Amino acid sequence: IIKPYEEALWAETDEAKFGPVKMSLNILTPLHHRWVMFLESLSEEALERGYFHPELQRIVSIP
């Protein structure tokens, strides 16, 4: 199961509205690097598997 969250609410926080963009980029850049490493480590079997997305109410695949 993929756990959704309210993305728009994150943009309403004071730090998102008034903080420097660089602060967010300093968080996102290493996070994206970790996601790349994680996705590259998945087996073919894991990549072919479907995952239930509760917000979309359907099975989705990674590729």
User: Per the structure block, which two tokens stand in for 12?
Assistant: 């309403």
User: Per the structure block, which two tokens stand in for 34?
Assistant: 């970790």
Q: Could you give the CA distance from residue 21 to residue 32 in angstroms, rounded to a whole number?
A: 16
Residue 2 inside a domain? The answer is: no
Verdict on whether the full-model pTM lies above 0.85: no
Mean per-residue pLDDT, 57-62: 89
Residue 12 inside a domain? The answer is: yes
Q: How many helices (H) and strands (E) does the chain have?
A: 4, 2
Q: Which residue has the higher pLDDT, 63 or 44?
A: 44
- Binned at pLDDT 50, 70 and 90, residue 19 comes out as very high
Which structural domain range is residue 36 located in?
A: 7-61
- Binned at pLDDT 50, 70 and 90, residue 3 comes out as confident
The predicted pLDDT at position 6 comes to 84
Total domains in the fold of the chain:
1
Instruction: Give the Cβ contact number of residue 18 at 10 Å.
Output: 7
- Binned at pLDDT 50, 70 and 90, residue 59 comes out as very high
